Each structure stands twice: as C-alpha cells, then as structure tokens.
Chains A and B, each alone.
Chain A
Amino acid sequence: MSADEKKFTVLDLLSLDLKEQNALDLRCIGGRKGLSREITTPDLNRPGLALSGFYESHAWNRLQIFGRGENAYLRMLDEAGRTDNLKKLFEYPMPCCIFTHNLTPGKSFFDAAEAGDCPVLQTDLPSSEFSSRVIRVLSDIFAPQTTIHGVLVEVYGIGILLIGDSGVGKSETALELIERGHRLVADDVVDIRCVNGSILMGQGANKVIGHHMEIRGLGIINVTHLFGVGAIRDKKQIQLVCGLEEWDSNKVYDRIGTEELTAEILGVRIAKLEIPVKPGRNIPIIIETAAMNERLKKMGYHSAKEFNQNVLRWLESENARALYFNRDDYL
C-alpha cells in the first residue's frame, strides 16, 4: 500500500487479516460513522495529559490508546460530572480511540465520541502488548513500498530475486528450482517493502493470485497444488538479486567474482549477479551455487578473494625461493 495514493482507514485496520501472535483483536464499540477516518502515522499516543486539560503538543493525529489508567481517570471525571474536557478532546479529529484490557468507557465518553464522529475500538489485549503489535503492523503498512517485475524464490534459505526482460526464462528457472526442492515466494509481480530502513521484504502482490505461475506453453499452473505446501512461502527477505540477460558476446562478464555488483531497491543496496543466459547453460544450478556462495560469504568466507590470496601467497614464496637460489654468496 503506497501511503500517498491509497488511504489507510480505521476500517482497514479493523479488517486486517492477521495471524495468532499478530492479531489485534479489535472491534468497534462506538462512533461507527468515523470508521472512514484515515490513519496517517504509525505512532501511538496515551492521551492522559489531554484528558486532564493540557493540550500543548497533543499528538491528536496518532492512534489514542486508553489503558487502565486513562479509563480510571475517565470514570473519575464521570463521577465528578466534569465532562467538558471530553468535548474538548473530541474537537481534535483523532483517527480513533482504542480501549485495551477489554475496558468499556462510560456513556458520557460514547456520547462525546458520537458527536465528534470518532470511532471507539476495544481490544482484549493489555496496553503494552497491543502497542507493540500495532506498531509492528503499522510500520509494515507505512513502510516504503514498490513492485518489481521478477520472480522471488528462496534457495537454501537465501531470498533471491530473479529479474530480466520478458521471455528470458525467469519463470522457467524458478520452476526448475522448485522442482529441485526450493521455494516460490512470488511470480511475476513482487511487492517489496523496506522494513526497518534496511531490510527488503518481498511477497506476492495479491492473495487471489497466490502461488500461481505462468509458463509459456503450459499456461497458468498452481504451484501449491502441484508441488505441495513445502514448495511455497508467503514472505521472504531479499538477499540477492540475479539479473538474467541474453548472452551478449560484446559484454564482459565477471570471470573471477572479486568485484561486487549491487542493485538498489528503495534505497537499500543488495548484492547483485549478472547471469548471461544461453541455450545449454543450466541457470538453476548456477543460481543454487550462487545461493550457497552467498551463505559462505555471510559466514566470512569469500571463495574468490580467498583463492586470489592463495595465488598471491604462492607467487610470493616462489619469488623468495628463486631469490634464495640465485644468491651470489651461495656456497
């Protein structure tokens, strides 16, 4: 979801389909008219100070979290008949008020919320747990995002994004990799989000499309049904980009592997390989090897550099030996 074009409303927050340990357990208990309000920032606010009448630097544009403390204070206000503060609170167009611990506010709060068209939500979770979950969810939604034409596969645990022109054989390569026991994340349209400023998470653009692939000559195939759930994965961090391109005899390809190309996606640099495609070249095996080599590099062993260092050391010792044998003062 790109934050600039599509709005993320409170209703979208309620209808997010999240799994067990991410579930927000939210339901709307009042102010339904305001469900179309937009959430513009992934931050939270505890409105304790605002309730007591202090509105300087009041972060009204954030999600307002009411925990036990705020709820107790509201009850105290209610009993003392001091509800003017509430009116003032709802003069600000807050996205929504969320009550944790399954708390329900008093009638005066609901009346003020209805009057201000502000949705009131409730969750079973405690405040701290809810806060950490909602921040996780929202930072994912508000993360910079782009879509790339390519195939994302997981090979030996490394997320590899295959890119290249139409018809160069990205899908066929991915199919062979799946055959060999690796996993498909997304075919053709890869949705990429930059999480935490440095991690690129890739996933399929659309749940409906799921894990289908288009193979020329076969048509559309369902990878989950054909190869089983072991052959697919929903999300994967992109750790390597492989550019497939038609073999160009005028172009110089890397023969040693000491120079390191990078690709830039959403401002994050990741390692890139350029792999020339030619009939008879087994691309899937090259990609498998690239994945293993990448793992070796991450473990601190760089095959090409190590090799070159060995060559240098050997030349050095040969040189020393030659010098020793040619010494004039040799007896």
Chain B
Amino acid sequence: MTELTVSIKNRAGIHARPAALIVQTASKYASSIWLEKGSDRINAKSIMGIITLGASFGTPLRILAEGKDEEAAATAIQALFESRFEED
C-alpha cells in the first residue's frame, strides 16, 4: 500500500474537469486507488465519487494505492495535484 498526502492548489477545487482528469489517470493503472478526505474514502476511478468528496481549495487529501503498479499510480495522481490540474 502506497500512501501520499497532497493538498488542493487550484482555486476552484475539484470540480468536474479535475475529477475527470484524476479518473482518466487512475484508470490507466491496474492497482486499486482511493482518495481520502478525513474519514471519507472513495474510489479514485469514479467521477461521481471524487466530486462527492467536496474537496475545495486547500483541503488536504490522501492518495492510497494498492496493487502491482501502486507507486507509479500514486505519483501520477500526485503530479496532477501538483500541476493544479492545469488551471490557476
């Protein structure tokens, strides 16, 4: 199990487009991937799940991945957060 912590750096937070980006990235990997906000844990391959988290600007999130390509998967998703989902 790989675990990384990120925070949301784009002003708008995770709305539909960033959620779709996360899902697209997560679906490339075979590992099971989850995002965690507080006690809520959702599947990172589900758009509605990610939007339901209601992650706004500055919210800390945990990326959890388990499977044979878990490290690559977790860092790829972390990179998305770092790049602010190509927004400001």
Q: Hey, which bits of chain A sit against chain B, CB under 8 A?
A: 2, 4-6, 147, 149, 166-167, 187-189, 205-206, 208-209, 212-214, 220
Contacts and interface: CB of A to CB of B under 8 A. Distances in A.
Interface of B: 16, 27, 38-43, 45-49, 51-52, 54
B27 A166 contact: yes
B49 A188 contact: yes
A330 to B, nearest CB: 70
Nearest to A3: B39
Given A166-B45, A188-B46, A209 B39 contact: no
Contacts of B40: 147
30 contacts: A4-B39, A5-B38, A5-B39, A6-B38, A147-B41, A147-B42, A149-B42, A149-B43, A149-B46, A149-B49, A166-B27, A166-B43, A166-B46, A167-B27, A167-B45, A188-B47, A188-B49, A188-B52, A189-B42, A189-B46, A189-B49, A189-B52, A206-B52, A206-B54, A208-B54, A209-B48, A212-B48, A213-B48, A214-B48, A220-B16
A189 B45 contact: no
Given A149-B46, A209-B52, 18 more contacts: A4-B39, A147-B42, A166-B27, A187-B48, A188-B46, A189-B46, A189-B48, A189-B52, A205-B52, A208-B54, A209-B48, A212-B48, A213-B48, A214-B46, A214-B47, A220-B16, A220-B47, A220-B48
